[in-house]
């Protein structure tokens, strides 16, 4: 549990449900990504990025796109797969290879996001946290250790200077 969770004790995390959702994420990712087992996974989300409209959840003020984010340190690649909060399906993957992107950085404000610019025409901002409560909008999964590993990879091996 992160510092926020220790200071502001919220509802307990259902680890069984979290593990089941992590397994569903793996199945979906492996189904659409060749050599998917070579990637570590986290859940992330993005807002108002039209290319990921398959995962958008309507009925909120912003459109939230749920994402299964895979990363491979050896190939310095991030693969993003749009999904839906109940993990009943997914869209087509998008690859971001370190050697082929324009720039990438972590943007701390206004939200903590991992931002990737594949070219001058667009970008994706991946928001990722250890756990998000609203299951109508987000995948229910606890991922503190995996998120720490992704953050380390992104900052030290993927982000551009």
Read off the pLDDT of residues 37-68 as tens digits, 9 standing for 90 and up: 999 999 999 876 554 443 444 444 456 789 99
Domain annotation covers residue 136:
yes
Q: Domain range spanning residue 90?
A: 11-158
Decide if pLDDT at 5 tops 70: no
Nearest C-alpha neighbor of 124 from the set 62, 157, 161, 79? 79
Domain annotation covers residue 128:
yes
CATH, residue 79: 2.30.29
Decide if pLDDT at 8 tops 60: no
Domain annotation covers residue 101:
yes
Domain annotation covers residue 1:
no
> In the predicted model, what is the mean pLDDT of the chain?
85
Decide if pLDDT at 74 tops 80: yes
pTM value? 0.85
Number of domains in the chain: 1
Domain annotation covers residue 147:
yes
Domain annotation covers residue 20:
yes
């Amino acid at each position: 549990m992160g510092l926020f969770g220790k200071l502001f004790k919220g509802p307990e995390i259902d680890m069984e449900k979290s593990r089941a959702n992590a397994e569903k994420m793996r199945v979906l990712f492996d189904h659409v990504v060749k050599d998917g087992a070579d990637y570590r996974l986290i859940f992330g989300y993005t807002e108002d990025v039209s290319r990921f409209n398959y995962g958008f959840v309507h009925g909120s003020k912003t459109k939230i796109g749920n994402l299964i984010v895979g990363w491979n340190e050896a190939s310095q690649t991030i693969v993003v797969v749009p999904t839906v909060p109940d993990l009943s399906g997914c869209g087509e993957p998008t690859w971001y290879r370190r050697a082929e992107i324009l720039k990438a950085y972590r943007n701390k404000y206004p939200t903590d996001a991992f931002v990737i610019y594949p070219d001058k025409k667009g970008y994706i901002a991946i928001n990722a946290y250890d756990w998000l409560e609203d299951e109508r909008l987000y995948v229910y999964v606890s991922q503190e250790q995996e998120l720490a590993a992704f953050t380390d990879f992104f900052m030290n091996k993927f982000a551009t200077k």
